[in-house]
Amino acid sequence: MTDAIIIGGGAAGCFAAVHAARFGKSVVLFEKNERLGRKLRITGKGRCNVTNNSSAEEHMKNIPVNPRFMYSAFSACDSSDVMSFFEELGVPLKTERGNRVFPVSDRADDIADALEREMKKLGVRVINKRVSSLIIENGTCVGVRAGGEEYRSNSVLIASGGASYPKTGSTGDGYGFAEKAGHTVTELKPSLVPLVSPDKFCAELMGLSLRNVTLTVYDGDKPIFSEFGEMLFTHFGVSGPLVLSASSHIRDMKPNRYHLAIDLKPALDSEQLDTRIQRDFAENLNRDFINGIRKLLPAKLIPVITRLSGIPEEQKINSVTKEQRRRFGELIKAFPVRVSGFRPIDEAIVTSGGILVREIDPHTMESKLVRGLFFAGEVIDVDAYTGGFNLQIAFSTAYSAALYM
């Protein structure tokens, strides 16, 4: 008999294991992969955006789904606590643009390895088996079944992640355990995921990376997201950091509801851009339009934007009208891309949806339906925008669970 069993050796599971052990509990952690923290090791392009160096209030603002559920957890363990935790384990951190926190080494492995070392030091037992079911007796979770054996404990924490990145082990097992225990699982959708576009020019532009642009997402005529950064075109639509962030603001995907506008020259206002265009035109008066704008835009984009502008490729620059020039400038400031859907959930960084929060005590992370059953991390129906906010949710919920398991 052990004090606590944890299902899942990712960010939430390992963080909970360390703290439960520090609180004097005997801990057994089940991880079906041979290595702990597989998803953690590739997060943030292998750099690991550990948290966001901002207030709990700022974190709440960056959680579009059930932010109030996190109030108690953030009070118990906030971003400064997480930063101190890793620095005390010998992982120096740095804060970058947007208050995003990374290891100084830019190695996600340093974060996962630090958790693994501390678990070993504290005597956490890791069993590399897939949990097949919970053991629930008289309304209390008293252990798990794995590999044909029963393992008994005073409490069980489900920290098995979402349904995104299944190759890392996030195959949604926890949702099944929760449902069999009587919990409600809300609809699972991809979040922080590339976007599909019906625009055929996306495939034409495949591989084109746009840096230092501003991407705006419109819900009908209303802008709901706008951010500066980088993105890229793919055979199916668009991807890259800006697009992944934007996707989490798109909640109810319907045909023709959302569209994107890319400002290709955000450093220039419309008047400044027009002055720049006129200067380029003046240098190329006798050239064809398509050859006279090469200094303005990436070469791959020129045939597409020329087509969209309605200006014939072979029209001489000296005959371009003021109205044609205005329309061309508008395209540069708001290059349009239609959106028709998300890429599949297995390509998403985060799963939106999960175990219904009103069935979980937000102070302790214990199930309101089954005694001794706890939840942490992505299995809960709380998700955030990019910037370290999702990992902070994992760490804070794990800490709360560890306190009360």
User: What pTM did the predictor assign?
Assistant: 0.87
* Cβ(51)–Cβ(84) below 8 Å: no
Position 190 pLDDT exceeds 90: no
What pLDDT sits at residue 139?
97
- pLDDT value of position 167: 67
State pLDDT tens for residues 11-27: 999 999 999 999 999 99
Name all domains of the chain by residue range, CATH numbers in brackets. 2-189+348-404 (3.50.50.60), 194-342 (no CATH)
Task: Give the whole-number percent of the chain exceeding pLDDT 70.
Answer: 98
CA dihedral 172, 174, 180, 181 (to 10 degrees): -160
d(CA 289, CA 324): 11
Spell 112-128 as b/e; 16+ CB within 10 A means b: bbbbbebbeeeebebbe
Span 131-173, pLDDT tens digits? 999 999 999 999 999 999 999 999 999 999 987 666 666 678 9
pLDDT of residue 165: 62
The pLDDT value recorded for residue 60 is 97
Give the pLDDT confidence of 206-243 residue by residue, as tens digits. Answer: 999 999 999 999 999 999 999 999 999 999 999 998 99
> Is residue 328 pLDDT above 90, yes or no?
yes
pLDDT in tens, 278-305: 999 999 889 999 998 999 999 999 999 9
Report the half-sphere exposure of 329 (CA within 13 A, side-chain side). Answer: 20
Q: If pLDDT is split at 50, 70 and 90, which confidence band does 100 have?
A: very high
Distant-in-sequence, close-in-space partners of 367: CB < 8 Å, separation ≥ 6:
141, 181, 183, 359, 360, 361, 373, 374, 375
Q: Is the pLDDT of residue 195 over 70?
A: yes
| pLDDT averaged over every residue in the chain | 95
Q: What is the dihedral of CA 265, 217, 383, 395, to 10 degrees?
A: 10
pLDDT over threshold 90, residue 352: no
**pLDDT tens track for 365-400:** 999 999 999 999 999 999 998 899 999 999 999 999
Cβ-in-10-Å burial (0-12, 13-18, 19+) of 60 comes to middle
CA distances from 260 to 13, 137, 207, 339 (A): 37, 52, 18, 7
Look at residue 65 in the predicted model and tell me its pLDDT: 86
